[in-house]
Amino acid sequence: METSANPLAERLEPAALPAYWHEHASLLITKPLQLLAILLAALVLRMLAHRWINRLSAASAAGRVPAILSPLADRAGGLPFWESAGLVSERRKQRADTIASVLRSAVSFLIFITAFLLVLQVFAINLAPFVAGTSLVGVAVGFGAQNIVKDFLAGMFMMLEDQYGVGDVIDVKEATGTVEAVGLRTTRLRDVEGVAWYVRNGEIVRVGNMSQQYAQVVLDVPVGIGQDVPSALAAIAQAGAELYADQQWLPSLLAEPEVLGIEQLGREETVLRVVARVKPLEQWRVARELRARIRSRLDSAGVGHALPGPDLAG
């Protein structure tokens, strides 16, 4: 009785093929189909999630803030000055784009990590050593990158709470200036001398925003001792009324300037205070004009100043 010289050829004869496929069906059919299903499910889920995030971002950038992104509503909304200057739309768009980018990256990371773990499970690979190794790496990276994580978390909460945005004038202790760009790790602002400052979000302990909703002009006017204080108060009030009646300056004012009265009593001067509520970013321009008008009115009323008068020098 002759035996075949090639056992593999004998095994793959047509009669033996069904048995071979049946014996290796898990490796040749089941597992590839499972891998393909996992990959397709991950890609489809990622595409749908990104499309949903992009829709939310577009709606937020256009001013139609969805309920889930209600913290992104602009606190400066409702001011025509801001809308006409394009500041609200710019800060809204940048904030929405940044948060959408973070959400897309996070969703992609979670989906592909889940898919990778499912692939390992299909091949019956023990995940305990892998989890232990990644845990050690994660701890090492965490210690080395804790400042970066701190910056990102601070930037995320800053954007969600709308603490400041592009076009705002802020004071972050380290620097004061106009915000030019807001990121998750750093904020770039430019001061009055043109210097660009890059401040890490994690290092910002407190923020003073001079551009939200309204601003306040506060002027302390020194008047020499022995001068007629009622006449000085009347002159200051008249200067404020004239400024409020001027059609050129009326769009910058939210209310007529108010004279509060005597703020300080000194040996050489009496300090009178006047305040005016104005639109954001207009406080410095209005303050300079109001100082000039007050000085002119005091001169016309014959009220002497307590020189050098630092607050009135403008």
Measured between alpha carbons, how far is 269 from 220 in angstroms, rounded to an integer?
Answer: 11
Residue 182, φ and ψ in degrees, nearest 5 = -125, 120
**What is the model's pLDDT at position 59?**
73
Q: In this structure, are strands 258-265 and 269-278 parallel, antiparallel, or unpaired?
A: antiparallel
Measured between alpha carbons, how far is 207 from 228 in angstroms, rounded to an integer?
Answer: 42
H helix or E strand, kind and range, residue 147: helix 146-160
**What is the model's pLDDT at position 82?**
42
- pTM exceeds cut of 0.75: no
SS3 165: coil
pLDDT digits (tens, 9 = 90+) for 61-95: 665 555 544 544 444 444 444 444 444 566 667 66
pLDDT digits (tens, 9 = 90+) for 279-288: 888 888 999 9
Phi-psi region of 213 (alpha: psi -120 to 50; beta: other; left: phi over 0): left
| Mean pLDDT for all residues in the chain | 76
Q: Residue 211 in contact with residue 166, Cβ under 8 Å?
A: no
pLDDT digits (tens, 9 = 90+) for 178-187: 888 887 788 8
**What is the model's pLDDT at position 60?**
67
- Mean pLDDT is lowest, of 98-102, 202-206, 257-261, for 98-102
Q: Which residues of 124-157 are buried (b: 16+ CB within 10 A; e: fewer)?
A: eeeeeeeeeeeeeeeeeeeeeeeeeeebbebbee
Measured between alpha carbons, how far is 197 from 186 in angstroms, rounded to an integer?
Answer: 10
